[in-house]
Amino acid sequence: MAKIQLNGRKLELKNKHTIFALLKKYKIDGKKIAVELNGKIVNRNKYKTVYIKNLDKIEIVHFIGGG
C-alpha cells in the first residue's frame, strides 16, 4: 500500500501502480496532460515503467483557458 499525494489530495493506493495505471484509474487521457513526480517531470514515454512509491507527491496538469 502506498500513501500518496495527488494534486494536493491525500490518497491510498492498495495495489502497485505505474503512472499509466494511475491515469487509467482516473480515466485521464495521457496525451492531454503532463505529470510531475516529486517535483520532476515524468517523460511521457515512461508512464508504463515508473512505479508509484509510498509518500510520492504527484501533480497532473492540463491546459485551461487563460490570458
Partner 1 sequence: MRNDIFRVGNQVLKSRLIVGTGKYKSFKETVQAVKISGADMVTVAVRRINILDKKKPLLTDYLDPKKIKYLPNTAGCFNSEEALRTLRLAREMGGWKMVKLEVLGDKKTLYPDMIETLKATKILVKEGFKVLVYCSDDPLLARELEFLGASAIMPLASPIGSGLGIQNKINLSIIIRNSKVPIIVDAGIGTPSDSTIAMEMGCDAVLVNSAIAKAKNPILMAESFKNSVISGRQAFLAGRMQKLFYADASSPSKGLI
Tell me the C-alpha distance between 14 and 64, whole Å: 31
**Are the C-beta atoms of 13 and 54 separated by less than 8 Å?**
no
Residue 27 interacting with partner 1 (CB under 8 A): yes
Q: Which stretch binds partner 1 (CB under 8 A): 13-21, 33-41, 46-54?
A: 33-41
- Residues in the interface with partner 1 (CB under 8 A) total 23
Q: How far is the CB of 53 from partner 1 (least distance, A)?
A: 19
Name 36's Cβ contacts closer than 8 Å, sequence gap at least 6.
42, 58, 59, 60, 61
Binding site for partner 1 (CB under 8 A): 6-9, 26-28, 32-34, 36, 41, 43-44, 59-67
